[in-house]
């Protein structure tokens, strides 16, 4: 039924197909006493006998198993991300809003010269929010979010990578508006060398074919977001395809403060804003992901202070709040993951090839 499910853009459509009578109740207010009927029931029912027909012409030549894989492993159905969930990066956020979010929302006025780029590149150190931005763009545009790492095409889908690329673009086309997020895109767009595996070469070729063929129609609402922490590996042809190239740097002190505040919001803690600001100032060079590790490490402090004999039985209300000292200890254990050397490279590449907006 997974194959069937993907053909429906929304739970509502799936419900209508499995139970046409439901149409009458959609949109009308349900009485307080009425029994709640999950709109997903029909779609999730494994025993479902009526298999809705696959009608979309564009998927006729695609292996249904691939479609199923894309549905289960590549379409991301996680909680929607909002701009406020991403700390700092004001410039990147504003630029992306104008260059891609509005055009996806209003394709009718972003035509001609205003036509959005087909693909954008987010580059910068690992763990700085590139994936978050991709997810956020998708959520803001009410778009389906396809997320794949380039290395999984050559490793996980071994032998099927090429077919996977084709299927991915075909399915995305049926799910517009769609955002295809490709992590480690450098490995798909680098110069094809003589030493690499034949299968890898075919994947790269197929990707270029699909990239160039994607979003060519006026009506298409498809955006490819490539992310990389090795932008210097991209060749000229790759840069030409990803016209908009945006640096996603490490968070500044203000952003780090926001990340700590957000993460602590759901934890019992007794840190004051001054404490948080102090920690933010002590974490120069930490990425967003490093900040998350730091907070997780600090959050273990109260647990480690529980005597071993009580850990299984202790009342959760008796676990003490996370405090400043937990962070001081955590700072010893969690160190920044990005080297100064690497940072210099990003800044340099940004000065030469960045922006393009």
* Contacts with ligand ADP, residue ranges (CB under 6 A): 86-89, 126-132, 227, 251, 255, 259, 288-289, 292
Please, what is the minimum distance in Å from the beta carbon of residue 165 to ligand ADP? 21
Please, what is the minimum distance in Å from the beta carbon of residue 228 to ligand ADP? 10
| Residue 228: count of CB within 10 angstroms of its CB | 26
Exposure letters 333-354 (e unless 16+ CB within 10 A, then b)? ebebebeeeebeebeebbeebb
Query: With respect to ligand ADP, which residue has the nearer C-beta, 275 or 292?
Result: 292
**CA–CA distance, 150 with 133 (Å, rounded to integer):** 18
**CA–CA distance, 66 with 88 (Å, rounded to integer):** 38
**CA–CA distance, 66 with 72 (Å, rounded to integer):** 10
Q: Which residue has the closest beta carbon to ligand ADP?
A: 288
Query: With respect to ligand ADP, which residue has the nearer C-beta, 243 or 289?
Result: 289
Query: With respect to ligand ADP, which residue has the nearer C-beta, 172 or 260?
Result: 260
Provide the CA 21 distance to its chain's centre, in angstroms.
37
Please, what is the minimum distance in Å from the beta carbon of residue 339 to ligand ADP? 16
Please state, in angstroms and as integers, the Cα–Cα distance from residue 172 to each residue in 19, 143, 288, following that order. 26, 10, 30
Query: With respect to ligand ADP, which residue has the nearer C-beta, 190 or 261?
Result: 261
Please, what is the minimum distance in Å from the beta carbon of residue 146 to ligand ADP? 15
Please, what is the minimum distance in Å from the beta carbon of residue 227 to ligand ADP? 6
Please, what is the minimum distance in Å from the beta carbon of residue 229 to ligand ADP? 7
39 CB burial (10 A radius; 0-12, 13-18, 19+):
middle
Query: With respect to ligand ADP, which residue has the nearer C-beta, 4 or 86?
Result: 86
Query: With respect to ligand ADP, which residue has the nearer C-beta, 131 or 176?
Result: 131
Exposure letters 88-104 (e unless 16+ CB within 10 A, then b)? bbeebbebbeebbbbbb
């Amino acid at each position: 039924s997974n194959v069937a499910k993907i053909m429906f853009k929304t739970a509502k459509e799936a419900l209508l197909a499995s139970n046409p009578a439901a149409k009458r109740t959609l949109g009308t207010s349900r009485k307080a006493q009425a029994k709640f009927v999950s709109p997903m029931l029909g779609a999730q029912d494994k025993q479902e006998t009526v298999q809705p027909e696959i009608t979309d012409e564009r998927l006729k030549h695609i292996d249904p198993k691939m479609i199923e894989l894309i549905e289960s492993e590549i379409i991301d159905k996680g909680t929607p991300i909002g701009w406020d969930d991403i700390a700092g990066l004001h410039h990147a956020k504003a630029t992306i809003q104008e260059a891609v979010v509005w055009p996806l929302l209003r394709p009718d006025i972003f035509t001609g010269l205003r036509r959005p780029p087909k693909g954008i590149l987010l580059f910068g150190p690992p763990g700085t929010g590139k994936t978050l931005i991709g997810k956020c763009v998708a959520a803001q545009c009410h778009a389906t979010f396809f997320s794949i790492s380039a290395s999984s095409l050559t490793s996980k889908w071994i032998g099927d990578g090429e077919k996977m690329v084709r299927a991915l673009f075909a399915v995305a086309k049926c799910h517009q508006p769609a955002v295809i997020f490709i992590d480690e895109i450098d490995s798909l767009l680098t110069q094809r060398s003589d030493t690499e595996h034949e299968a890898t070469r075919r994947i790269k070729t197929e990707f270029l074919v699909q990239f160039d063929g994607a979003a060519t129609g006026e009506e298409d609402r498809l955006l490819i977001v490539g992310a990389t922490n090795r932008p210097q590996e991209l060749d000229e042809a790759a840069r030409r395809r990803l016209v908009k190239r945006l640096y996603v740097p490490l968070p500044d002190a203000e952003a780090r403060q926001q990340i700590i505040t957000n993460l602590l919001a759901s934890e019992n803690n007794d840190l004051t804003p001054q404490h948080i600001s102090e920690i933010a100032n002590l974490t120069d060079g930490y990425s967003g992901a490093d900040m998350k590790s730091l907070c997780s490490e600090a959050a273990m402090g109260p647990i480690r202070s529980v005597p071993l004999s009580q850990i299984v039985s202790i009342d959760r209300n008796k676990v003490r709040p996370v405090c400043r000292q937990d962070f001081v200890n955590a700072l010893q254990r969690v160190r920044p993951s990005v080297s100064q050397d690497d940072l210099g490279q990003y800044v340099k590449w940004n000065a030469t090839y960045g922006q393009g907006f």
